[in-house]
Amino acid sequence: MTTPAKAGALRRGYVYLGRLDKLRPVLVISPDVRNDLASDVIVIPCTTHLSTAPTHVRLRRGEGGVSDTSVLKCEQITTLHKDDVRQQPLGGALPPRRVLEVERAVLRAIGVPVPLE
């Protein structure tokens, strides 16, 4: 379950702008207790280069605050220092069903056999 995003606190299930190869939307997927205690967060990068793969989760324009239809590339899960993530989410939390899709795609990315739905 995600807790509401508050100023300065990065929260699981919200999309933020993060500095990777460039400033791009990232989904924070690390648990909130870790987000509060660690100096980094676990994120999944987002791209507007739409492609289909068992490890990709599509976001509709506006979902989570993304400006265009996008894809979360769950095989590229990584960590970012909190200083590399803007503190204000782009929009509201992703719906629980979408976060579940992301969790399943991450499992597929690490080789856990998860059937496609």
Domain count, the chain: 1
Q: What is the CATH number of the domain that holds 23?
A: 2.30.30.110
**Is residue 47 one of the residues assigned to a domain?**
yes
Q: Hey, is 114 helix, strand or coil?
A: coil
Q: What percent of the chain clears pLDDT 90, i.e. is strictly above it?
A: 85
Least confident of 2-16, 17-31, 66-80: 2-16
**Is residue 7 one of the residues assigned to a domain?**
no
Contact 65, 89 (CB under 8 A): yes
pLDDT digits (tens, 9 = 90+) for 28-73: 999 999 999 999 999 999 999 988 999 999 999 999 999 999 999 9
**Is residue 10 one of the residues assigned to a domain?**
no
Q: Rounded mean pLDDT of the chain?
A: 92
**Is residue 5 one of the residues assigned to a domain?**
no
**Which of the four pLDDT bands, split at 50, 70 and 90, describes residue 106?**
very high
**Is residue 117 one of the residues assigned to a domain?**
no
